[in-house]
Amino acid sequence: MHRLALIGIFVLVVSAIKGQPILRLDSAFRLAEQLPLFQERHPIRPQLSTHQPIQIADWQAVSGVHYGNTTTRGRAFFRCQSTTNRTVWLELTSHFLDTVWVTLVRPDTSLRFRPVAYTDLAAAPSPDWPNLPVRHRYFVLALPLLENQPTTVFIEGCVPPGDYLKFGVRVWEPSQFLSYQQQDTWTWAFFVGIFLMAVFIGLLNFLIDAQRIFLYYAVYISCLTIYSLLNDGWGVMLPPSLHWLDDPYALGHFLNSGLCCFILFSRRFLSLPRLTARQWDNPVWLLVGLAVLIEAVRHRQAVGNGWGLGYRVGIVGVMGYAVLFARYIAQTLRQNAHRPTALFLLSAVGSMLLFYAVNFLLNASGQPSPLPDMLLFRLAFTVELFVITLGWLYRQRFIRHSQLLLERSNRQQAESLQVAQEQLIHAQETERRRLAADLHDDIGTSLLALRGKMPNQPDAEQLLNKIIRDVRTVSHNLLPVELHDLGLPDAVAEVAHRLETASGIRFLFVCSGQRVVLPSSAELILYRAVQELLHNIVKHSRATDATVQLVYHDTYLNITIEDNGRGFTDRTVNNQRGIGLQNVDSRVKSLTGEVAIDTGPAGTTVRIDVPYLLDPNDRHAQNPHTAG
């Protein structure tokens, strides 16, 4: 997109360099006494006096007519002479004129054309309008010149009260004008094509990613492109059903909507927090307020003078959006990470701000612009698109870099957490082995010796035998010998069998699939997790039946434990049972596995999925222990 913007800037600059002078005359013309264009110093007379000599003191030489907004009618003249009888075309380059009168004064007579209103430009050339030779967005009038007859051309323009009265004057050979018109049309078409492509890309990204930043920018480009086209007079080319768009108030709504969408785009472009409906700096409030004011000015214009108020409303609206934009930029500049993005956006907006500032100063001072207003606007708008495109590319690169850094940090944290969990589990197992050895070698041996020395007391001997069995059970739980000797499935089956004998709950154990040998540390972690879940069933569930199922799939091991107990609620995480479940979850996650719990009044189901940690080429079935 940025390459297209560069090409567009090049084409528009070339067009500007090749721009025509105010008076374009070929060698068949000569300016009488080399006089330039003049405009009346004090346009107060209601009618032009074409029979009295021109008092030069009442006129001032200008390069372009510009009365500002101090008057509704303004007059200008220039002199020319042709060496042959011919018709030339007079072009008044302005989109501000509302009605035009043209008078040709020769030594022997004067010819005053009927007034031409701006709405007449939409009509196709016809015999009824001999002085409108071609359909054009500006006023183009046919002027008949006689051979060697000095001719003074008087131009009188009219605008509504409060509007700016300014226009440039160019005289063309018809063939030259048609060539220029074709070039100008293609320049506009290229400009519109660039921005239509930008709109299409924005809408396409919005449909794909569902991010409103693309929609906001597409609407902004659309509104300002329509604004520039209508503001430069292309509205006369619209069909009659769409002539309501070619209206100053419609232009105000397009500009208002475009600026609002640009402010919304800027917030997301700068990665600022999302707006809420109650925030005072939400530009939507300004959009609605200005829309109401524009319609109020329209109503006032219908009953009186509303143009001056309309310009003041427009200035206030632009200043309001500028304040919001400045606030967003200042907020972003305080965040060092997003400062380059803010500078890109500020540079992009700078071109448009420069255009409006220069245009405002020229209008305020009454000086004509060196280039047509809308050509300057197109240049500024294209530069803005190009700079924002560069800023977008930088922003996307910055986001990708930040995501990579975040992913790397998360991965390092996960690896550190996994190492810490493995160290904790290793320390727990080491302590369990030490305690099991102490219970078996020291306390167990002492209890057996005590039983051999006790007198014949049945009650005491029975109690002592129970203590010896309990010590053996605790020692066995602390150090499951069958896990090392038989493997994970048989060790889990043994735990279920012991708990069934001790609790009375019926445990059903099922193992299916081709058994895969996991690393001993992984099997120990899974054994402890299953052991914790089965003890939870015995202690808390009040179940009568439970099922333990191990399924060896091609790429992962699934362990499912079900019971028909009373289930539990989310508040369970605050008690001892919840702590046990959290331990199970942390143990399984240390193996990059997942735990899913489904609980309710009818019972609880816990599903554990653990991917095989061994490389597929190193995996082998444990042949001595076939799946049951």
Q: What does the H/E/C string look like for 548-571?
A: EEEEECCCEEEEEEEECCCCCCHH
Q: Are 429 and 436 in contact (CB under 8 A)?
A: no
Q: Looking at the domain assignment, is residue 406 inside a domain?
A: no
Nearest residue to 246 (alpha-carbon basis) of 159, 368, 121, 132:
121
Q: Looking at the domain assignment, is residue 73 inside a domain?
A: yes
Q: What pLDDT was estimated at residue 614?
A: 46
Q: What pLDDT was estimated at residue 132?
A: 81
**Residue 320 C-beta-side C-alpha neighbours within 13 Å:** 20
Segment 1-8 long-range contacts (CB within 8 Å, at least 24 positions apart): 1/197, 1/198, 1/201, 1/385, 1/389, 2/386, 2/389, 2/390, 2/393, 4/194, 4/197, 5/194, 5/382, 5/385, 5/386, 5/389, 6/386, 7/194, 8/190, 8/191, 8/194, 8/382, 8/385
How many domains does the structure of the chain reveal? 2
Q: What pLDDT was estimated at residue 106?
A: 87
Parent domain of 497: 487-628
The first and second tokens of residue 532, run together, are: 């914790």
Q: Looking at the domain assignment, is residue 433 inside a domain?
A: no
Q: What pLDDT was estimated at residue 608?
A: 94
Query: Considering 181, 198, 230, which residue would you say is the last residue of a domain?
Result: 181
**Distance of alpha carbon 566 from alpha carbon 553, whole angstroms:** 31
- Cα-based distances in Å from 434 to 440, 441, 443, 447: 10, 10, 13, 19
Count the neighbouring beta carbons within 10 Å of the beta carbon of residue 625.
15
Q: Looking at the domain assignment, is residue 460 inside a domain?
A: no
Q: What pLDDT was estimated at residue 509?
A: 92
Name the DSSP letter for residue 48.
Answer: -
Q: Are 168 and 95 in contact (CB under 8 A)?
A: no
Beta strands in 146-225 (DSSP E): 151-158, 165-172
Q: Looking at the domain assignment, is residue 218 inside a domain?
A: no
Amino acid identity at 29: F
Q: What pLDDT was estimated at residue 275?
A: 57
Task: Give the distance between the most distant pair of CA atoms in the chain.
Answer: 157
Q: What pLDDT was estimated at residue 546?
A: 93
Segment 409-416 long-range contacts (CB within 8 Å, at least 24 positions apart): none
**Distance of alpha carbon 365 from alpha carbon 386, whole angstroms:** 31
Q: What pLDDT was estimated at residue 506?
A: 92
Q: Give the contacts of 250 (CB within 8 A, at least 6 positions apart).
A: 230, 244
Specify the CATH number for the domain of residue 534.
3.30.565.10
Residue 248, phi then psi, degrees to nearest 5: -55, -35
Q: Looking at the domain assignment, is residue 481 inside a domain?
A: no
**Distance of alpha carbon 364 from alpha carbon 69, whole angstroms:** 9
Beta strands in 83-119 (DSSP E): 86-93, 99-105, 110-112, 116-117
Query: Considering 181, 206, 239, which residue would you say is the last residue of a domain?
Result: 181
Q: Looking at the domain assignment, is residue 110 inside a domain?
A: yes
Query: Considering 181, 203, 221, which residue would you say is the last residue of a domain?
Result: 181
Q: What is the model's pTM?
A: 0.64
**Residue 584 C-beta-side C-alpha neighbours within 13 Å:** 26
Q: What is the mean pLDDT of each run of 10 residues along the chain (628 residues)?
A: 46 43 41 61 60 71 83 86 88 84 86 82 70 84 88 88 82 88 87 89 89 90 89 82 81 90 88 63 85 81 58 79 86 76 85 80 73 80 87 84 86 79 71 63 60 65 68 63 80 88 89 88 86 88 91 93 83 54 82 88 91 54 39
Specify the CATH number for the domain of residue 17.
2.60.40.2380
The first and second tokens of residue 255, run together, are: 């500009």
Q: Looking at the domain assignment, is residue 27 inside a domain?
A: yes
Q: What pLDDT was estimated at residue 481?
A: 66
Rounded to 5°, the CA angle 363-367-371 comes to 90
Amino acid identity at 512: S
The first and second tokens of residue 537, run together, are: 């069933």
